[in-house]
Amino acid sequence: MLYTDKVMDHFNNPRNVGVLDDADGVGEVGNPVCGDMMKISIKVAEDRIADIRFQTLGCGAAIATSSIVTELARDMSLEEAVAITKKQVAEELGGLPPAKMHCSVLATDGLKAAVDDYLVKNGREPISGGLEHDDPHFDPHAVPHEDACDVEG
């Protein structure tokens, strides 16, 4: 399986790893395809992402996509952050193998969950429109498990 240099860079040197102890919002999601998990914590100031960290228990693509999502989301408004798509993530990384596209949903869903968590904790309405993995049209079996977990880095 071929990964771009940028994917390998973010896998080998992931940005913004960890947990914000004083987080304003936290999103924890699991990938129903492979069982991998990710957690995103955010600090919010004036409805923008002021700080962000992630922890991912997953494959190389999940780690690389989580890393790039934290870079993209920093300083974005909450509306912009929940609008980040898996296509945008893949483009930022110079492409992902088709069997790995589902991995990028983990990061975008984690960010959506963190933003909604912040809003709900502050008595406001969630804005993400729901997680992609919860979409009835999302087919967790579209990618065979053995392909999904073909982790080479």
Side-chain half-sphere of 5: how many Cα atoms within 13 Å?
A: 0
- Strands 25-30, 48-57: parallel, antiparallel or unpaired by DSSP? unpaired
Name the active-site residue from 23, 26, 33, 34.
34
Residue of 106, 111, 115, 119 interacting with ligand FES (CB under 6 A) = 106
- Shortest spacing between CB 123 and ligand FES, in angstroms: 33
Count of residues near ligand FES by CB under 6 A: 11
For residue 36, state whether it binds ligand FES (rule: CB under 6 A).
yes
Sheet holding 37-45, edge to edge: 25-30, 37-45, 48-57
For residue 143, state whether it binds ligand FES (rule: CB under 6 A).
no
- Strands 37-45, 25-30: parallel, antiparallel or unpaired by DSSP? antiparallel
For residue 90, state whether it binds ligand FES (rule: CB under 6 A).
no
What is the pattern of x (binds ligand FES, CB under 6 A) and - over residues 53-82? -----xx-xx--------------------
**Quick check: is 34 catalytic?**
yes
For residue 103, state whether it binds ligand FES (rule: CB under 6 A).
yes
Give the span between the Cα atoms of 44 and 40, in whole angstroms.
13
DSSP 87-136: HHHHHHTT---GGGHHHHHHHHHHHHHHHHHHHHHTT----S-S-GGG-T
Chain residues that interact with ligand FES, rule: CB under 6 A? 31, 34, 36, 58-59, 61-62, 103, 106, 148-149
